[in-house]
Amino acid sequence: MVNFFTAVAFAADEAPAPGGIGQFMSFAPLVILFVIFYFLLIRPQQKKAKEHKNMISKLEKGDVIVTSGGIHGTITGVAEDAATVEIAENVRVKVAKEHIIAKKKK
């Protein structure tokens, strides 16, 4: 019985090495998956970040904004990295510019 198994093991040929096209076909699903992730996840996120950065750079006094915490207010002053926002009559808070998520229409 032992001779039978060893004979089968020695009789098996080696699998042929895949050619150039075979290697590409085994790698192609990874490339396709990356392309799908790029167009569905990465590109839209980069586009949204670019639009947000552009909106932040154009903030000016009098703009009505919404912060990431949900606070609505009017900008009364703009500094390099923060904005002063009036959230009620004579109530002003400083908000970091990156936490301003939207500019509302007046």
**pTM of the full predicted structure?**
0.68
Residue spans of beta strands (DSSP E) within the chain? 64-67, 72-78, 82-88, 91-96, 100-104
Residue 25: pLDDT band by 50, 70, 90 thresholds? confident
44-87 per-position pLDDT tens digit:
999 999 999 999 999 999 999 999 999 999 999 999 999 999 99
Angle, CA 33 vertex, CA 49 and CA 24 arms, to 5°: 135
Question: In the numeric block, which tokens belong to residue 6?
Answer: 């060893």
Q: Give me the CATH code for the 60-106 domain, please.
A: 2.30.30
Residue 17: pLDDT band by 50, 70, 90 thresholds? low
Residue 26: pLDDT band by 50, 70, 90 thresholds? confident
**Distance from C-alpha of 90 to C-alpha of 71, rounded to nearest angstrom:** 15
Residue 87 near residue 102 (C-beta atoms within 8 A):
no
